[in-house]
Amino acid sequence: MASQWPPVAELAAGVRAGELKAADLVERSLKTITDKKDYDAIIATIEVRARERARTIDERVAKGEKVGRLAGVPFIAKDNFLVFGAETTAASNILRGFEAPYQATAVERLEAEGAICVAKANLDAFAHGASTENSDFFTTKNPHDKTRVPGGSSGGSAAAVVLDMAPFAIGTDTGGSIRQPASFSGCVGYKPTYGLISRSGVVAMGSSLDVIGPLTRSVEDAALVLDVMAARDHLDSTTIDRDAAGYAALPDDLTGKKIGVIKEYFGEALEPAVKKVVDDAVVKIKQAGAEVAEISLPSLPMALAVYYILCPAEVSSNLSRYDGQRYGYTDQDAKDMDESYTGSRGRGFGKEAKRRIMIGTYVLSSGYYDAYYKRAQTVRTKLINEFNEAFRKVDFLLGPVAPTPAFKIGENTDDPLKMYLSDIMTVGTNLTGVPGISLPAGMAENLPVGLQLMAPQKADRALLGFARQTEALIT
């Protein structure tokens, strides 16, 4: 499908030159959101504030003032980012009605460069899921087939980009939540090195795993948006230094680069149609002058088990703050404090949040802590060592994003474990903190298929450069 949006840099340049009006871009975004309402990608629009910001930007352009690198460019934020002008619900009933008293640092940085948030996108409640079916409100439909899921948890953000609702969107990735929906819906999804973008003002899920990243229609757009968001932040002590060279100007030579194709991702679970798309991409990368070899990460098949101990453990801890006392849903009928806690949480949380809190509580409880939690943390070390070892031999790793294209709505909802398996090829990068990207690489029976590329920690600039080269070869 041809997009109505030119590249982000071009849009912003047009606004700065006075050739495009920020007000028109915002209206175009809002109209597309209304026209494509039946996909259920959006939880809320931010009309009043977006129009005000657009007017201010156009006025400043007219006065010859500086308006920024993303001047007037509309974007959509996953509804787990605190943003002014609409509720922040994380698609959960327990946060229904919550209006953020401050904004996420990532959003502040985008706004400082003139970008305009026009809407909040749907997600699996608290980002727990791979399909948006765990949203407490509704399920987003896949832009290519309304009977299928868009992926998740950033499914609303991915669908919104593919449906042209905005030039770009932002999401979060704890176990694949940017890359898998990008693959299922057909856009670029970038998961940066852990710590590169501040998470202040983003609803926490798994704190040792969560990252923020862009969903875009090209690698160039992703690099620009990342460049604006990446910075240390005193409100998030886990943030790391950005690359001194930035992320907007990318290296562009594939010659002599070594690419490792991850052996463990090509097992029998991989659907042949997905395998074919990935194999075809590998052939083109080889022809372009890169050295391609198979590489083994023997513990990678264990990554999902590690993830489904560590993630629920961190979830159970992070979600303990939703106690019905300070914000969000509160059980009005409770007789005392204890009933207020159990009632507010019991009725406010959806089933998947409760399921993860229960697993997390179990693996952290005395008597099981060593056997589960500590064991998983130690296998995590083993996995990190294997990634380090692999990156001594190759510059980049390559594989599929998910074993299948988008599945049918309802297909996996009765079996939580089967749903968890959608993350099997993406959790490795979260556990090791390395960056990863999903690129649209082709179609399998009319459904998009993504190609996943990974690089060592902090090699985001090199990875984006490689991704842009690859994008030119496969699209």
Binding site for other proteins (CB under 8 A): 97-99, 101-102, 194-195, 208, 234, 237-238, 240, 299, 302, 305-306, 308-309, 316, 320, 323-328, 330, 334-343, 345-347, 349, 351, 354-355, 357-359, 361-362, 365, 371-372, 374-382, 384-385, 416-417, 420, 432-433, 457
Among all chains, which residue has been given the structure tokens 């977006």?
A: 50
CB 339 to other proteins: min, Å:
7
DSSP type of residue 371: I
Residues labelled as active-site residues: 78, 153, 177
CB 440 to other proteins: min, Å:
28
What is the number of alpha carbons within 13 Å of residue 338 lying toward its C-beta?
0
Choice between 140 and 429, CB closer to other proteins? 429
CB 189 to other proteins: min, Å:
20
Please, where are the H alpha helices in 265-414? 272-287, 303-318, 337-348, 351-364, 375-393
SS3 145: strand
Longest C-alpha distance within the chain, in Å? 71
Choice between 294 and 338, CB closer to other proteins? 338
Angle at 123 between CA 120 and CA 127, to 5 degrees: 120
Q: In 3D, which of 402, 419, 349, 401 has the Cα closest to residue 131?
A: 419
Instruction: Say which amino acid occupies 314.
Output: E
Choice between 96 and 275, CB closer to other proteins? 96
CB 410 to other proteins: min, Å:
17
CB 75 to other proteins: min, Å:
24
196 with 230: CB under 8 angstroms?
A: yes
Check residue 115 and give left, alpha or beta (phi > 0: left; psi -120 to 50: alpha): beta
Choice between 276 and 374, CB closer to other proteins? 374
Long-range contacts of 242-250 (CB under 8 A, 24+ apart): 242/196, 243/458, 243/460, 243/461, 245/461, 246/461, 247/223, 247/460, 247/461, 247/464, 248/223, 248/224, 250/219, 250/223, 250/461, 250/464, 250/465, 250/468
Q: Sign (positive/negative) of CA torsion 168, 203, 82, 195?
A: negative
Choice between 382 and 408, CB closer to other proteins? 382
CB 273 to other proteins: min, Å:
27
Choice between 54 and 196, CB closer to other proteins? 196
Q: In 3D, which of 54, 31, 33 has the Cα closest to residue 44?
A: 33
